[in-house]
Amino acid sequence: MELTRLRGFRDLIGADARAMSLVEERARAIFDRYSIKEIRIPVLERTQLYSRSSGETSDVVEKQMYTFTDRDEGETAVALRPEGTPGVVRAYVEAGLDRTDPEQRLFYSGPMFRRERPQKGRYRQFYQFGVEIFGRPDAASDAELLIMIDELCRDLKLPFTMEVNSIGDQKCRPAFREALVQWGRAHWDELDDDCHNRIDRNPLRLLDCKKDAKVTESAPKSLDYLCDECRAHFDIVKELLTAANVQYIVNPRMVRGLDYYTRTAFEVMASGLGAQSTIVAGGRYDGLVETMGGTAIAGIGFAIGVDRMALALEAAGVTPTIAPDAAIISMGPAAMRHAVIVARDLRAANLNVEMLSPERKMKSLLARASKIGARFAVIIGDDELARGVVQLRDLNESTQREVAVAEAARAIAEAREE
Ligand code: HAM
């Protein structure tokens, strides 16, 4: 086939798509309990939105955006969103919420686009489920978000580790930056070209230098440079996590790849995923609303990498069911019409039911019912139609009995509960 999909783009069919929806459904249910409201924002935005917020020197903006020029008069430079945070902040400021109703708890969900080198767990179109909380500068809101993430991972029965760090604020960051620049210069020979560039352009990212992970062991740690306010904030976050029984590790070398973060930064890793194991990441961004033209309102948030969380579910053996409870097999035109009503009645009893095409022989219909994973076949012929019954065939046990539709519904529901 010539018209194949692009590299790094995926088709998700059946069980793969279901695993993604499962993550989204569970996240949505938990977000409801935390009173987080939905926001839907465009996939296409001005390119400038991202350079101003995610950071001119971030990999996302520098190397990974899908950009093009719109054919309007202004020849506006536009980009497919590489992340959700800048769009949400823009929408928040554009709606005037920073002035009229600054405390907002919002979630978004949908595809993001980054032109990265594709590998398992890293795609050029991927899905995020993200949360942004505005107007909460207090440490309790950091802890609340981390408790919520912990709850979600537990709910999905995922083995995971949570790492937290504080990277300071406008007051204490400059000294830390300077210490990193000095360190980078002193360790020039041990760093590769990519990292040489970071020394002046984005020194925090020196901590992500991958050439030899040992090199960064001697690098300065943000925690040693925190001002009193940032330290007190981080201490409360840690204290609350401990009080809530959330297991976490302080990783003093963690920095984030996007520029807007202040104070608390965090990442959650799932086991069994290989190199791309970060399934949730985020942090505080107290200066971002102001940078984007709003008032000085605090912000904090995170995004779930839905693709990766679905892979983690698979690795942990948690596979969502997509098989129906019963397949309906009808023989002959009159029985086929009746089968529609039987299917409706079974569905009304909350059962998942698939009608099979009547155009085949019984043997191949039974094979089809097993193939789609149905536990039962409900068989209807002219004879059953005349007597108001169905043949209920247990495909696991290879047993069959004649029952009324209501009895079939009860037996199928009972087997599902087992
Ligand atoms: P991020 O760390 O760039 O943060 O992305 C968050 C998560 O999205 C990652 O941990 C990962 O699970 C997933 N992800 C990122 N890139 C890819 C990819 N190419 N393929 C598959 N999954 C990917 C942000 O985007 C911030 N906006 C998060 C945030 C919200 N911070 C504050 N509020």
pLDDT tens, 223-270? 999 999 999 999 999 999 999 999 999 999 998 888 899 999 999 999
Q: In the structure, which protein residues have their CB atom closer than 6 angstroms to any atom of ligand 1?
A: 83-85, 114, 116, 121-123, 126, 128, 130, 132, 257-258, 278-279, 281-283, 301-303, 305, 307-308
* Structural tokens at position 60: 């996302």
Residue 211 confidence (pLDDT): 62
Size of the chain in residues: 418
Query: 84 C-alpha to center of ligand 1: Å?
Result: 9
Domain endpoint, select from 255, 287, 315: 315
Give me the pLDDT at residue 212, please. Answer: 64
Name the residue of 126, 142, 269, 289 whose CB sits within 8 Å of the most ligand 1 atoms, as the mutation to test its pocket.
126
157, 183, 268 from 36: Cα distances, Å: 23, 42, 20
Q: How far is the CA of 163 from the centre of ligand 1 (A)?
A: 15
CATH number at residue 398: 3.40.50.800
383 and 250 in a common domain: no
Q: Give the closest residue (by CA) to ligand 1 atom 13.
A: 305
pLDDT, position 397:
95
Structure-block tokens of residue 382: 């002219």
Tell me if 403 sits within 8 A of 415, measured CB to CB: no
- Among 412, 415, 418, 392, smallest CA distance to 403 is for 392
Q: Out of 278, 280, 288, 289, give the residue to mutate to test ligand 1, the one with the largest number of ligand atoms within 8 Å of its CB.
A: 278
Cβ atoms of residues 274 and 120 within 8 Å: yes
Q: At a CB cut-off of 8 Å and minimum separation 6, what does 123 contact?
A: 8, 9, 10, 116, 307
Range of the domain at 337: 326-417
As for how many domains the chain has, the answer is 2
Query: For ligand 1, atom 12, which residue shows the shortest CA distance?
Result: 305
**Could you say which of 315, 342, 361 is where a domain stops?**
315
Position 213 in a domain: no
Which pLDDT value is given to residue 73? 83
Same domain, 310 and 247: yes
Do residue 37 and residue 114 come from a single domain? yes
Are 119 and 231 members of one domain? yes
Phi and psi of 110, rounded to 5°? 155, 180
Q: Which residues of the chain are modeled with pLDDT < 50?
A: none
Domain assignment present for 89? yes
Ligand 1, atom 14, lies closest to the CA of 305
Taking CA atoms only, the protein residue closest to ligand 1 atom 7 is: 305
Closest CA to 83 of 125, 118, 122: 125
User: Which structure tokens are listed for 396?
Assistant: 């696991």
Same domain, 278 and 346: no
pLDDT at 52: 94
CATH of the domain at 300: 3.30.930.10
370 and 280 share a domain?
Answer: no
CA–centroid distance, residue 347 to ligand 1 (Å): 39
Residue 77 domain flag: yes
Q: Looking at the domain assignment, is residue 194 inside a domain?
A: no
For 67, 100, 159, 306, the CA distances from 127, given in Å and listed in that order, are 19, 31, 21, 5
Is 59 in the same domain as 112? yes
295 and 338 share a domain?
no
Q: Write down the pLDDT at residue 57.
A: 86
In a domain, 377, yes or no: yes
131, part of any domain:
yes
> How much distance in Å is there from the Cα of 418 to the middle of ligand 1?
39
**Which residue has the least CA distance to atom 15 on ligand 1?**
305
Q: Are residues 350 and 371 in the same domain?
A: yes
Tell me the β-bridge partners of 133.
Answer: 105, 300
Residue 10 forms part of a structural domain: no
Pick the last residue of a domain from 256, 289, 315.
315
CB proximity list for 108: less than 8 A, separation 6 or greater: 38, 39, 40, 41, 84, 87, 88, 128, 129, 130, 132
Q: Is residue 210 part of a domain?
A: no
Q: Does one domain contain both 144 and 79?
A: yes
> pLDDT (tens digit, 9 = 90+) per residue, 182-206?
999 999 988 888 889 889 888 998 9
SS3 of residue 365 by DSSP:
helix
Same domain, 23 and 47: yes
Given this model, what pLDDT does residue 373 score?
95
Q: Do 268 and 403 belong together in one domain?
A: no
Cα(102) to ligand 1 centroid in Å equals: 25
* pLDDT for position 193: 87
